[in-house]
Structure 1
Amino acid sequence: MAVRLGSHANGDLAENAEINITPFIDVILVLLIIFMVAAPLSTVDVAVELPTASAPQQARPDKPVFVSVRSDLTVALGEDAVDRAALGGAIDAATKGNKDECVFLRADRGVPYGELMGVMNLLRAAGYLKVGLVGLEDVGGGQP
């Protein structure tokens, strides 16, 4: 409740029905700062073992384009080893420049996740945004 000071005929102070929102804004700003500081701290590195896929198998294209990351971190297009710098040009030749074609990316189990993301970034830089990850099919229905 606020009071308005002014000259009135009878000399009494009249009550003001307006809400003072300054304390409310202060509280909101403090909460905002707390959440901005706490949000980055809530993301921690957690070791996870990713499950195998149990989704139904999709139809394959006639000539799929496979990019593989081997256990020694070399990259192969189909069966041929390709230098990472030349990967974009090699995929353009394999897809005949069709950037809408899906590129299937597979990697050895021991390949670090960062290396796999590096190859995905090379594919994205070459203009191939449709990337399918290849994994083992879970025929038993359970987790390994």
Structure 2
Amino acid sequence: MAASLDSGRSGRGRAKWKPKAEINVTPFVDVMLVLLIVFMITAPLLTVGVPVDLPRTEARNLPAGEEPLTISITLDGEIYLQETVVTLAELAPRLTAIAGTGYTSRIYIRADDGAPYGDVARVMARVNAAGFTNLGLVTDPIER
């Protein structure tokens, strides 16, 4: 906090010094800009947990929001709920335990480009049978 002295004149001609309090906001703005840049860089890196080679399509990116609930299917058929390995039989009870009833947000399925179509179809059928109907498939955009 900085203080400066203000020279004001009183009625008799004598100088009266009054302290004036001012807040220097420049360091606060600098810190906020640095934090903004750090969060802009690190936020996209936090959503990817399981390494999957996604297929490339011409689909547009979805708007960013809260952290999505994702199911990942690797090339060798392993199923991950967020970052935890689960079996096909455990998938529906775990989803119900995480999401509870009335989960309306979209559940994203990330499948490796070489994963068998049957594995992806079985996961989608199991999730749909558990009562979760708002599903989305995640792909990488084609770079032009």
Name the TM-score class by shorter chain.
0.5 to 0.7
d(CA) in 1 for partners of 2:68, 2:141: 18
Who is 1:64 aligned against? 68
d(CA) in 1 for partners of 2:124, 2:74: 14
d(CA) in 2 for partners of 1:54, 1:119: 24
Who is 1:134 aligned against? 138
Who is 2:5 aligned against? none
Say whether residues 1:117 and 2:121 are aligned partners: yes
Question: Structure 1: which 5+ residue stretches go unaligned?
Answer: 1-50
Aligned residues: 90
Greater gyration radius: 1
Deviations, residues 97-132 of structure 1 (Å, cap 9, x unaligned)? 333221000111111111110110001111111110
Deviations, residues 34-82 of structure 1 (Å, cap 9, x unaligned)? xxxxxxxxxxxxxxxxx73223312133120010111121111011001
* Structure with higher strand content: 2
Q: 1:63 to 1:96 in 2, by over 3 A?
A: farther
Say whether residues 1:100 and 2:117 are aligned partners: no
The alignment yields a C-alpha RMSD, in angstroms, of: 1.6
d(CA) in 2 for partners of 1:112, 1:88: 20
Contact 1:99 1:127 in 2 (8 A): no
d(CA) in 2 for partners of 1:121, 1:54: 25
d(CA) in 1 for partners of 2:64, 2:92: 22
Question: Structure 2: which 5+ residue stretches go unaligned?
Answer: 1-54
TM-score (norm: length of structure 2): 0.57
d(CA) in 2 for partners of 1:58, 1:108: 19
